[in-house]
């Protein structure tokens, strides 16, 4: 391979001293490792869907890896980790790149490591339903495997068909299933991890559920996930339901009544009628009304119908979900809603928040000032064992000052904001440093090689 083809275009150019050339020579000698030098490939694998945020787009659009590698074995992962640690070369992990917050963007250049070839399903425990799977396995493929065993995943992003399992654990938080099963960091989801460390001598170690908590939702900043053990649930023949309502407040009442009813739900989405007008018509043609999208067990259909009739809403049973592939209600929920709307108007961006109770008061307060600039998208979720409503409203981009003003008003209305326009783990969450995550990085990545710039607690520690 011609080293003259190696031209860095990272925002922070990689040093070109003799040490770096030695790093290149050593990494090219590794077995079971594909290496990508072309600028087009390096640029491609240095992006995710951060352009959902105009703020992140401005910040990250020039960031590019100096080198992209794809390990074909666990030993190759250990070898790459050791080399990056030895030469102090930043290392950023990448699954399928379906995140929205720049989780896999190498803001300091260096190496991006693609984990997609480490993708085997190692073990299924038929007595518990627990499954052990390698990092790069696609969630959609894993779920198909589980369905053949009479089980399915408890939580899935709307990108389930293309997202990797470790990418979801490291960069996600919840999604389809959160109405029943809460969020990924809740106890009982992640049962164990296998990780590779970036100590002086890299190790492959096993972490139990308690030790794994610090690696969960850490953007790959404090350990290289190579395998995971996840809990699953008994498979249910989910049915798709659409409920149309003239009044948004009445639709919210139906959402709350449905999530609090004695029925099994896997999805409970509420979309403003203006959103329904523009997204694919897989839930039925627009009827000028706000619409709820639900996945419910067969024995819960009549209960939802009774709830909707009591509220004076229109009820539509769309049939079993299993007959659909890629055009069902899941594809209209969570951040797929954002994706569909941005395909119509790229000037749209979004927020993420947990609404205070009673939720309608907060929405009315926000609408009083921002009603012409906001389209509401709500998701039923379970938060610390209590049924709540999360919001992913679409907003017209009018500049960062307007965005900050809107976020301030949302907070003043009592909403808990999960800011999708920032790059650090903490600022995209509750804004609080997780000392366990920092301690794990100190232990497993003491030189700060992994995904630098994404863990604010580490930056403050160093």
The values of phi and psi at residue 394, to 5°, are: -90, 135
Residue pair 155/355 in contact (Cβ under 8 Å)? The answer is: no
Task: Indicate if the pLDDT at residue 52 is higher than 80.
Answer: yes
Q: How many CB atoms lie within 10 A of CB 2?
A: 6
Q: What is the pLDDT of residue 409?
A: 98
Pick the CATH number of 121-234 from 3.40.630.30, 3.40.50.10440, 3.30.465.10, 3.30.200.20: 3.30.465.10
- Separation in Å, CA 436 to CA 210, 220, 228, 378: 11, 14, 19, 31
**What integer best gives the mean pLDDT of the chain?**
94
Predicted pLDDT at 276: 98
pLDDT computed for residue 341 by the predictor: 98
Q: Taking each helix axis from N to C terminus, what angle separates 359-370 and 248-260, rounded to the nearest 10 degrees?
A: 150
Angle, CA 371 vertex, CA 368 and CA 375 arms, to 5°: 140
Name the band, by pLDDT with cuts 50, 70 and 90, for residue 3.
Answer: very low
- In percent, the amount of the chain with pLDDT more than 90 equals 92
Query: Among residues of the chain, what percentage have pLDDT more than 70?
Result: 96
396-411 CB burial, b ≥16 within 10 A, e <16: ebeeeeebeebbebbe
* Domain residue spans of the chain: 3-114, 121-234, 239-417
What is the pLDDT at residue 19?
84
The helix (run of H) or strand (run of E) holding residue 172 is: none
The whole-number average pLDDT for the span 194-219 is 96
Residue 213 has pLDDT above 60, yes or no: yes
Residues 6+ apart with CB under 8 A from 95: 104, 115, 116, 135, 136, 163, 164, 165, 166, 167, 168, 170, 171
pTM: 0.94
d(C-alpha 164, C-alpha 368), whole Å? 41
Q: Which residue has the higher pLDDT, 325 or 295?
A: 295
In this prediction, residue 325 has a pLDDT band, given cuts at 50, 70 and 90, of confident
Residue 7 has pLDDT above 90, yes or no: no
The CATH architecture assigned to 3-114 reads 2-Layer Sandwich (3.30)
DSSP 179-206: HHH--TTSTTSEEEEEEE--SSS--EEE
Predicted confidence (pLDDT) per residue in 127-171, tens digit: 999 999 999 999 999 999 999 999 999 999 999 999 999 999 999
* Mean pLDDT lowest among 141-155, 325-339, 408-422: 325-339
Q: What is the C-alpha to C-alpha distance for residues 131 and 144, in angstroms, rounded to an integer?
A: 13
Instruction: Name the nearest CA neighbour of 116 among 135, 139, 140, 102.
Output: 135
| Confidence band for 16, pLDDT divided at 50, 70 and 90 | low
Tell me which fold the domain 239-417 belongs to. Answer: Vanillyl-alcohol Oxidase; Chain A, domain 3 (3.40.462)
Q: Output the pLDDT for position 461.
A: 85
Chain centroid to CA 425: 12
Indicate if the pLDDT at residue 11 is higher than 70. no
CA 176 to chain centre: 11
Bigger pLDDT: 21 or 358?
358
Report, as an integer, the average pLDDT of 313-318.
Answer: 98
In angstroms, the CA 418 to CA 174 distance is 12
**Span 405-424, mean pLDDT?**
97
In the numeric block, the tokens 């907070």 are attached to 411
Q: What is the pLDDT of residue 320?
A: 95
Question: Which residues are CB-neighbours of 314 under 8 A, at least 6 positions away?
Answer: 243, 244, 245, 287, 289, 308
74: burial class by Cβ within 10 Å (0-12, 13-18, 19+)?
middle
Q: Name the band, by pLDDT with cuts 50, 70 and 90, for residue 430.
A: confident
């Amino acid at each position: 391979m011609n080293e003259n083809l190696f031209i860095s275009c990272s925002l922070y150019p990689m040093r070109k001293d003799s040490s770096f050339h030695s790093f290149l020579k050593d990494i090219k000698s590794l077995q079971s490792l594909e290496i990508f030098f072309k600028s087009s490939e390096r640029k491609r694998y240095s992006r995710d869907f951060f352009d959902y945020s105009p703020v992140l787009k401005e910040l990250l659009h020039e960031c590019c890896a100096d080198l992209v590698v794809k390990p074909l074995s666990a030993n190759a992962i250990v070898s790459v980790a050791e080399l990056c640690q030895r030469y102090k070369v930043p290392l950023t992990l990448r699954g399928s790149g379906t995140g929205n917050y720049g989780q896999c963007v190498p803001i300091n250049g260096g190496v991006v490591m693609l984990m997609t070839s480490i993708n085997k399903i190692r073990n299924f425990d038929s007595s518990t339903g627990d499954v052990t799977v390698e990092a790069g396995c696609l969630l959609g493929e894993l779920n198909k495997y589980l369905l053949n065993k009479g089980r399915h995943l408890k939580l899935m992003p709307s990108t389930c068909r293309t997202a990797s399992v470790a990418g979801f654990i490291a960069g996600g938080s919840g999604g389809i299933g959160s109405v029943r099963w809460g969020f990924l960091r809740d106890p009982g989801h992640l049962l164990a991890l296998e990780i590779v460390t970036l100590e002086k001598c890299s190790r492959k170690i096993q972490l139990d559920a308690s030790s794994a908590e610090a690696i969960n939702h850490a953007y790959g900043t404090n350990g290289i996930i190579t395998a995971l053990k996840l809990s699953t649930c008994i498979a249910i023949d989910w049915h798709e339901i659409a409920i149309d309502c003239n009044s948004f407040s009445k639709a919210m009442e139906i959402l709350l009544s449905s999530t609090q009813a004695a029925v099994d739900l896997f999805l409970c989405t509420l979309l403003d009628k203006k959103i329904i007008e523009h997204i694919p018509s897989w839930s039925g043609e627009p009827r000028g009304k706000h619409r709820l999208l639900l996945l419910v067990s067969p024995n819960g259909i009549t209960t939802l119908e009774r709830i909707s009739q009591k509220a004076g809403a229109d009820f539509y049973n769309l049939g079993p979900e299993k007959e659909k592939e890629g055009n069902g209600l899941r594809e209209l929920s969570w951040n797929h809603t954002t994706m569909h709307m941005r395909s119509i108007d790229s000037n749209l961006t979004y927020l993420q928040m947990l609404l205070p109770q009673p939720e309608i008061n907060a929405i009315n307060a926000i609408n009083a000032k921002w009603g012409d600039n906001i389209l509401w998208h709500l998701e039923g979720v379970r938060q610390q064992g209590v049924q709540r409503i999360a919001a992913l409203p679409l907003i017209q981009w009018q500049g960062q000052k307007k965005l900050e003003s809107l976020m301030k008003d949302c907070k003043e209305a009592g909403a808990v904001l999960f800011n999708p326009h920032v790059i650090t783990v903490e600022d995209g969450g509750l804004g609080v440093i997780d000392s366990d995550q920092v301690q794990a990085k100190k232990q497993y990545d003491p030189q700060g090689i992994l995904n630098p710039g994404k863990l604010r607690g580490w930056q403050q520690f160093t």
